[in-house]
Structure 1
Amino acid sequence: MKNPDKKGLIFDIQRQCIHDGDGVRTVLFMKGCPLRCAWCANPESQEMKVELAFLPQTCIGDGACVLACRKDAVKAPGVIARNLCIYCGECTKVCYAEALSLIGEWIDPEEACDRLLRDFVFFQRSGGVTISGGEPFFQAKFVKELLDRLHSKAIHTAVETCGYAKREDMLEAKVDQFLFDIKIIDETEHIRWTGCSNKIILDNLDALYQAGRRITLRFPLLPEINDSEENLKATADLVRRYGLKELHVLPFHQLGSNKYQMIQKEYLLKKKAIPTNEYLRKVVQRLVENGIHPVIGG
């Protein structure tokens, strides 16, 4: 399905969040991202399209989905020919066990704003709204209009970004706080683990700094991927270069691993261990020795 006029493709709204910007936040999740990070916790956010999800553990195998599918895409319960699926949702309507569901909803900025403002009582004093993803600026037109609407109502806004976007979109957007991910400084290694160069990312970070925008740098900590002495030092150098007081360290986790099976994608890091407290303590110490203040979890 092509992008309807003025609408954006979202896949979730989470409320009363405390790790996505200042205070208590309501977070809107957008679909679409230019990166393919091996550790992505939201693989359902990557594709700029509605997707069909299947939860095998809840399927009762009654075959109603097979009969409901007009395109013969559902061959058997849980067996889906995704090249035939048109994401009409007919199979989900008859799935009483809710094993099948559609991920993604087209929505216009006005309705998105109205939904987000339902939580105004929770964030009016010290919080606000955060736009996340995916990469929010992958749908820049929609996001900028939504941010305009929120700002007109004096709502504090934050954007969680990988930094891979058009510079003018980032500079034009009415964002009070950029939650900016820095993953790997070496370009070759960045390409290896995310599928993209980090040149645009670093250039955009510099542009935001030169424009005086508020930036919170975040560092997803990935054992044996970006925790080398060289990368930790280079990341610390970057933090100090922009005069930032702290680096938000986000330890690797496996909370999104089941989502890959749900949308039939391969998860490359399913066997990677979650960092221990002792490991985190050592990494924090190494960052401190490099002259910065790490904050675990943001």
Structure 2
Amino acid sequence: MEELTNVFLLISKPYGITSRKFLNEISRVLGEKRVGHLGTLDPMATGLLFVALGKYTRLLPYVNLETKEYVIEITFGIETDTWDITGRVVRAYDVLVKEEDVLRALPKFVGKIKQRIPFFSAKKLRGVELYKLARKETFIETFKDVEILGIEYMGFKNNKLVLRVTSSSGTYMRSLAYELGLMLGVPSTLSAITRTKIGNLSISMATTINRLRQGDFSKGLVPPQAVINMPIIVVDGDAFKLGKSEPLNQVIVLDKTYNVIGIGEIKGILKPKVVIDEDNRVS
């Protein structure tokens, strides 16, 4: 099978596996030990995971994928300790939620808001993860600033609400489900979630683990210039890999669609910071 390494990979995570275990599976299938990712998904979540293979793991700190898009399902009439359907049920009873009440409530969650952090989360409080405190039945209410850029109503039937949500990185869909229930005065929980977009990358571009097993690499490959917001400069590659600085005088200038739009003048020195080369270290 053809090898796949030193790339960014957009892949769809299946249900019921942690992001870490899924990365281990990718590593095993491709025979590449160096595997990293951005944007962890809970086991119940499916959809997009941005993965770096091989030397490209060094570039992850420079990747800009701030916004996320999810399609979620919220079920009214049930509340769990984790605020999603995988948790222990703490309240459950028949409720009557009206569609018009839901539609009135949703706009109140759009914009920059303070969001409750789930008790069962890896967020730390004074150096201790909240989930460790929750397991000891110590529940401390904490908040974080997030931004929800948009909520699209997609349907409501049998106390199940489907939404498309675009948000800043780090926004909890579990919290959105829980807090919507609070506003409506009923128990609620996140019952399904799929990440459909990361930055400008969509689910239609993603590959799957089954494709990788078959040696099909025709989908999911992401060029660095699509996710790293930096100018492109052509230099002497051999000198750069050896860690040598290079004076910058004139460069060809490209626009965001990579069309040449002119020549630019730069006065300075280009110094290697991260070198994608087997024989060099990260500086």
Structure showing the higher strand proportion among its residues: 2
Larger Rg: 2
Normalised TM-score (structure 1): 0.21
Higher relative CO (Cα under 8 Å, sequence separation at least 6) belongs to: 2
